[in-house]
Structure 1
Amino acid sequence: MANVEILRLDNSQADFSEQLDKLLAWESVSNDQVNGIVNDILARVKREGDSAVIEFTNRFDRLNAGAMSELELTQEDLQQALDTLPDDQRHALTVAAERVRDYHERQKGESWQYAEADGTVLGQKITPMDKAGLYVPGGKASYPSSVLMNAIPAKVAGVGELIMVVPTPDGEVNQLVMAAAALAGVDRAFTIGGAQAVAALAYGTETVPKVDKIVGPGNIFVATAKRAVFGAVGIDMIAGPSEILVICDGQTDPDWIAMDLFSQAEHDEDAQSILLSPDADFLDRVEQSIQKLLPTMEREEIITKSLADRAALIKVADLNDAAEVCNRIAPEHLELSIEDPEALLPQIRHAGAIFMGRYTAEALGDYCAGPNHVLPTSGTARFSSPLGVYDFQKRSSLINFSHQGASDMGKIASVLARGESLTAHARSAEYRIKD
């Protein structure tokens, strides 16, 4: 395959901002045709329940199920998958699960209260959701890491029941995914996918429980369905393509950086890999490494298209400039492949996950570092955070006025309510005012 041409930019050029906007532009996950298909599926599952789920599953996954019982995996199925894994895979999965669980245990929020001088008590009560749904891509794709990253925070949060859905096209069940479900504590698992699985979780059927929140990645039909059911249930996010931004001072092995860029580009053709460096010669060396290593990659065609369409090597004046460009991009994954990442960290305002130092490959975060790999994409790190325990917990305000507090604040509320012409509000508060 011929050498891939990668966009080169310099943040000192007059049209840099315009060029960067063009590079970062990403179309929405949906279109009218997809919306039409998804809306039909959602409506039928909501109306017909199990029978619609079975019909769509048989059609899209080429199965021949006659009942939902044929599409449910038992706890024994999941445990057997774990028990019969090759030793190296079971060890790796177990270590990863332990690290993810250990990290997320530290995120658990606690309820709190405080008392005011007059005896009024205010506070916040934190409770887990009753049920959560986990969507896992299926078929030949194997994403056990996705199971761990979505299921473990839910269980740490105390979610009462976790329901996993995973499609099995042509009946192909992935053992690693089932084993991960056993390790992570999934309560029920169904071999269904697509918009019909999202609908089943959102609305409930005779067999599939209605959940409070749906998390996990999927294709355009899954993403469109999640967006459509939001409001009936919560969702984690509408994820765009994978992204990596590397800031390098020019001292890291260029082969390492090239492979780090590949690690996102191999996800799909729309993934985005960007390198920022103040060292123009280093950018040249990384480009040489890219051309050298690309023919050795199993996913060479996917990586090539991703790099050609959406990648960039960007020259910046210095690391301070690199931080400003990074904040403009707000990347999903940020590698600070520099001598002193701690020194630059205070300048980084927007990033989903920050990988610090030359030895911290983004790939470690995907599998076994411990922090969650479900991260905001497409610039949404400006206002969103990684998936965590807090996404499966709810906060309720606690308000308990003493007689004196109700009297004092009743006078304040009365003035404000009457200012809004809400007389019932005012009189409700005024009834509690002491004579």
Structure 2
Amino acid sequence: MLRTIDLRATRPSPSELLALVPRAATDVSAALEPARGLIDAVREQGEAALIEQAERLDRVRPPHLRVPADELERARDELAPAIRDAIERTIERVRAASEAQVPAPERTVLGDGAVIEQRWQPVARVGLYVPGGKAVYPSSVVMNVVPAQVAGVRSIALASPPQAAFGGRVHPTVAGVAALLGITEVYAMGGAGAIGAFAYGVPSLGLDPVQRVTGPGNVYVAAAKRLVQGATGIDAEAGPTDILVIADDSADADFVAADLVSQAEHDELAAAVLVTDSPAFAARVVERLEVRVAATKHSARVRTAVEGVQSAVVLVDDLDQAADFANAFGPEHLEIQVGDPEAVLARIENAGAIFVGPYSPVSLGDYAAGSNHVLPTGGQARYAAGLSAATFLRPQQVVRYDAAALREVASAIAVLSTEEDLPAHGDAVTARFERA
């Protein structure tokens, strides 16, 4: 079922490890031109383009592109009690964890009258994308909205594709959770067109451009995010989900198999990777995987994912080599299920989120752990971080010098401005001390 990559008795270099990493055959660049066409249509035609795209791509005509306030309120009030309770508990946990991500202001005194203040300023307006497709994602509403609110964002717009099953409306659970969080600006629009609408605005809808777009989506959403950078900021180009589990023979093979299946059910291109120093343990996981894949609701989807080139069992000599492989992979989700997890954790550099121990499965983080589940995919964890309150904050330095403090560094400024052949820089300082 899972193909095997055997690294035993080898010590690949970092570049060789990168070449060995299994990846799904997705190419955002191939989606750039179709996405560009959808964005350009929205810029030129506004609402008409969004409606045409909904009819063609979502196979339904939304009765309203902007969801009416009474529809949001009704969706909130009609949330099933068990769902509402689960969402409220999740909101509470994500809010608490997000509050810990907001840096405190700092004041650095460099001398008498010489002060640098570090502050963290939220963007004023954001556009949050919640995908549709194979599943409904009310949890993604929480994961996008709560960090933005904690960061202090004043204006929040949310978009989610119109659903044919609900007459072209946003999925009622998504709408209800948005309303539960106090979001009143919600749009029934999806894909690259929605990203373009966020970036450039749709005046007839009252949709003003945003300063940052966040949230997961398909390859066209990822391509659209790449295209609108410069007009707005983005969080990341999200791709198919992935899970990498580092486990030794002390782990429970059925737990590991269940966790691999849990992520593989997202998408046929999802990556499920086990890295272990025990061939016998790997065999037990594959055995349990067969059972669980056959029994799960989305069996065909899961089987395609685990049999794909992006999924594998990786055999290593030891757990140090396992950590090296994980760092090269840069997993969105990393689980560590070994006898001494802290030793492995100490070697991990690149991961979107890390789940330690047998009772910290990735699905805990998808919902109720308090951590954020909008994470870098496709190896982006090697250089990028997951969504957090910091995503919506910009560090700014405020400089406060008085005359005496400026005079103290005036000669250094003059020397450097002369060296760089920018004498007016020095003149801007000396001019302040030339008056009688």
Report the TM-score, using the length of structure 2 for normalisation: 0.92
SS in 2 for 1:432: helix
Letter in 2 for 1:253: D
- Which residue of the partner structure matches residue 100 of structure 2? 106
Partner of 1:198: 195
**Distance in 1 between residues matched to 2:330 and 2:324, nearest whole Å:** 10
Query: Shift of the alpha carbon at 1:19?
Result: 7.5
Match of 1:260 in 2: 259
> What residue ranges of structure 1 are gaps of 5+ in the alignment?
none
Q: How does 1:418-429 map to 2 (within 5 A)?
A: 418-429=418-429
Using the TM superposition, name which of 412-421 and 361-370 deviates more: 412-421
Q: Aligned equivalents of 1:411 and 1:108: distance in 2?
A: 38
Which residue does the alignment assign to 2:142?
148
Q: Partner residue of 1:173?
A: 170
Say whether 1:287 aligns with 2:281: no
Deviates more, 1:38-47 or 1:83-92: 38-47
* 2:8 match: 11
Q: How does 1:383-422 map to 2 (within 5 A)?
A: 383-422=383-422
Shift in alpha-carbon separation, 1:47–1:429, aligned structure 2, 3 A: farther
Whether 1:270 and 2:269 are equivalent positions in the alignment is yes
Q: Residues 31-430 of structure 1: matches in 2 within 5 Å?
A: 31-32=29-30, 34-64=31-61, 70-138=64-132, 141-170=135-164, 171-206=168-203, 207=205, 208-309=207-308, 310-430=310-430
Cα displacement string for residues 304-354 of structure 1 (whole angstroms, at most 9, x for unaligned residues): 222222222122222222222222222111111123323332121111111
Seen in structure 2, the aligned counterparts of structure 1 residues 209 and 44 have a Cα distance that, compared at 3 Å, is same
SS at match of 2:267: coil
Using the alignment, how far apart are the partners of 2:152 and 2:172 within structure 1?
26
What is the rounded CA distance, in whole Å, between the counterparts of 1:20 and 1:332 in structure 2?
Answer: 16
Question: What is the CA–CA distance in structure 2 between the aligned matches of 1:156 and 1:5, rounded to whole Å?
Answer: 41
Cα distance in structure 1, aligned partners of 2:291 and 2:249: 18
User: 1:65 deviation in Å?
Assistant: 5.4
* Offset from partner CA, 1:86-122 (integer Å, 9 cap, x none): 2211111111111111111111223222333221121
Q: Which moved more, 1:410-419 or 1:34-43?
A: 34-43
Q: 1:167 to 1:299 in 2, by over 3 A?
A: same
Distance 1:398 1:162 in 2: 27
Name the SS of the counterpart of 2:322 in structure 1.
helix
Q: Secondary structure at the match of 1:391?
A: helix
Unaligned runs of 5+ in 2: none
* Contact map agreement 2:17 2:328 (CA 8 A) in 1: no
* Distance (Å, rounded) in 2 between the aligned partners of 1:210 and 1:174: 24
Deviation of the 1:283 alpha carbon: 1.0
Deviation at 1:172, TM superposition (A): 4.9
Most deviating of 48-57 and 95-104: 48-57
In the alignment, residue 45 of structure 2 is paired with which amino acid?
Answer: E
Q: What amino acid is the match of 1:356?
A: V
- Once the two structures are TM-superposed, the CA of residue 45 in structure 1 deviates from its matched residue by 2.0
**How far off its partner does 1:255 sit?**
1.2
Alignment CA distance shift 1:372-1:382 (3 Å): same
SS of corresponding position for 2:307: helix
Separation in structure 2 between the aligned mates of residue 227 and residue 28 of structure 1, nearest angstrom: 15
Describe the SS at the equivalent of 2:432. coil
Kept in 1: contact 2:366–2:373 (CA 8 A):
yes
Distance in 2, Cα, partners of 1:185 & 1:137: 19
Shift of 1:72: 1.5
CA contact (8 A) 1:213 1:235 kept: yes
Q: Write the distance in 2 (CA, Å) between the matches of 1:8 and 1:65.
A: 48
Structure 1 residues 174, 238: closer, same or farther in 2, change over 3 A? same
Residue deviations 1:118-159 (CA, integer Å, cap 9, x gap): 211211222211110011113663001111101110011111
Moved more, 280-289 or 361-370: 280-289
Q: CA deviation at 1:61?
A: 3.0
Helix, strand or coil for the counterpart of 2:336?
A: strand
Once the two structures are TM-superposed, the CA of residue 418 in structure 1 deviates from its matched residue by 1.3
Q: Greater shift after overlay, 336-345 or 246-255?
A: 336-345
Identity of aligned residues (%): 37
C-alpha separation in 2, matches of 1:178 and 1:232: 27
Contact 1:99 1:368 in 2 (8 A): yes
Distance in structure 2 (CA, Å) of the matches to 1:140 and 1:278: 35
Aligned length: 428
Mean alpha-carbon deviation: is it higher for 23-32 or for 388-397?
23-32
> 1:302, CA displacement in angstroms?
1.9
Q: TM-score under structure 1 normalisation?
A: 0.92
Q: Which deviates more from structure 2 when the two are superposed, residues 201-210 or residues 78-87?
A: 78-87
**Using the alignment, how far apart are the partners of 1:259 and 1:123 within structure 2?**
49
1:181 alignment partner AA? A
Paired AA for residue 192 in structure 1: M
Q: Secondary structure at the match of 1:189?
A: strand
